[in-house]
Amino acid sequence: MRSIWNGSISFGLVTIPVKTYSATDRTSSVSFVRIHEKDGAPVQYRKICELDGNEVPNEEVGKGYQPPGDDTIVPITDDDLSQLPMPTAKTLSILSFVDPTEIDPLQMDKSYYLAPNGASAAKPYTLLREALEHHRKVAIGKVAMRGRESLAMLRAHDGALVMHQLLWPDQIRPATEVVPDDVEIRENEMTLAETLMDSLGELDPAELHDDYREAVEELVAAKLEGTEPVAPAPAASGAQVIDLTAALEKSVRAAQGGDTDAESESASVTPLRGRKAAKKSAAGSGTAKKSGTRQQATARKTGAATKKAPAKKTAETKTAAKTAAKKSAAAPKTAGGRTKAASAAAQSTSSRGTAAATSGKSQKSTAKKTAAKKTTTKKTGKRSSA
């Protein structure tokens, strides 16, 4: 790596000479050059003076400052900048030590590795690194790099000191314009969301890679070989308004390996209120149908029982009448008045019975009366013969 800035860290009365190296490599990302589509030749960019229209060579390009809301441009030379007081031009001055959670990630800009510059710098460099790790703090300071002063944060990482350039607090825009209105979150939705977070497990940085860059490289390789590029698989549809609870449940099953088709299914629009109303309506119609069916079945059974009951009662009534008539005819004609009255009473009693139990009682009553009359007839006959 090539050092891009040499300076020192001011830590109280301790000065640590350091070299600065870029901690990130953005050259590996996908970048394109602009070409002329007609012939494929690269397009050059030239610096043209807006006043005379002529091309300006690099040695004649200088600096200027344009105040906000003003068209006037004030020329600024390197001599003007060199006379400005800038104590952090070659020194990273540490102002305080704070907890890492006090630094908003929105403030982080570029990252750099700091290495000790010389053998004498190794011990104080290691001391600062160990102190940051042991105390679990980060250092906040100011540094001027490439003609600009910025905030900086120092932290220990993998045995080295890392410096993060920070944006000034007034460079962070407020989030008031993007915050949604008050939304009510149910307890089961929060539980499902937390379960999904736990189910996804930990992240392995080694598994992260740039799919788009790989696809571009495959496309370029296919064009160089003169073959037809392989069409990429269609991407899943974007997010839509969905049933949040159902989507969370599917996601949890998919993360736990219980639902393999959850990833292939796209989200569908499902109005929550309409869905509940539809369910209630369907349930109501189903209940009505079942109730109607039960009522019809009950009516049929009741009708059948009603038709059968009179028939049984009529047959029992006729049988009781015949039995009473036979017993009355077998009695002697001597007790004619009483026998006829008893027979008439038996017929009247049996005809008024409407239930099987009533008919049985009538038959028993008639039999008792007939037996009593027979006894009376016998006694009368004995008296007559005497």
pLDDT tens-place string over residues 327-381:
444 443 433 444 444 444 444 444 444 444 444 444 444 545 555 454 444 444 4
DSSP 184: -
d(CA 7, CA 145): 10
Q: Is the pLDDT of residue 217 over 60?
A: yes
Q: Is the pLDDT of residue 16 over 70?
A: yes
d(CA 46, CA 61): 12
Residue 121: the pLDDT is 94
Are 38 and 127 in contact by the 8 Å Cβ rule? The answer is no
Mean of the pLDDT values across residues 226-231? 80
Task: Place 166 in a pLDDT band, splitting at 50, 70 and 90.
Answer: very high
CA neighbours closer than 13 Å in the CB half-sphere of residue 27? 3
Q: Give me the phi and psi of 5, to 5 degrees please.
A: -160, 135
d(CA 4, CA 218): 34
**230 Cβ partners below 8 Å, 6+ apart?**
218, 222
Q: Is the pLDDT of residue 286 over 50?
A: no
Residue 278: the pLDDT is 40
Burial (CB count <10 Å: 0-12, 13-18, 19+), residue 305: exposed
Instruction: Please provide the DSSP assignment of 314-357 as one string.
Output: HHHHHHHHHHHHHHHHHS-GGGHHHHHHHHHHHHHHHHH--SHH
Q: Is the pLDDT of residue 283 over 60?
A: no
Query: Which one, of 252, 270, 254, lies nearest residue 262 by Cα?
Result: 254
More confident call, 272 vs 118? 118
d(CA 4, CA 21): 6
Both tokens of 118, joined, read 């010389």
More confident call, 167 vs 365? 167
Give 88-114 pLDDT, tens digit per residue. 678 899 999 999 999 999 999 999 999
DSSP 48: B
d(CA 189, CA 192): 5
Residue 252: the pLDDT is 79
- Given its phi and psi angles, is residue 49 left (phi above 0), alpha (psi -120 to 50 degrees) or beta? beta
Are 103 and 153 in contact by the 8 Å Cβ rule? The answer is yes
Q: For the chain, report the end-to-end CA distance as a whole number of angstroms.
A: 157
d(CA 338, CA 375): 13
Note the pTM of the prediction, 2 decimals: 0.56
* Ordered alpha helix ranges (H), the chain: 78-82, 122-135, 187-200, 211-225, 244-255, 272-330, 336-352, 356-385
> Which residue shows structure tokens 């008045």?
337
More confident call, 39 vs 29? 39
Query: Which one, of 364, 338, 334, lies nearest residue 349 by Cα?
Result: 364
Task: Place 31 in a pLDDT band, splitting at 50, 70 and 90.
Answer: confident
Arithmetic mean of pLDDT over the chain: 73
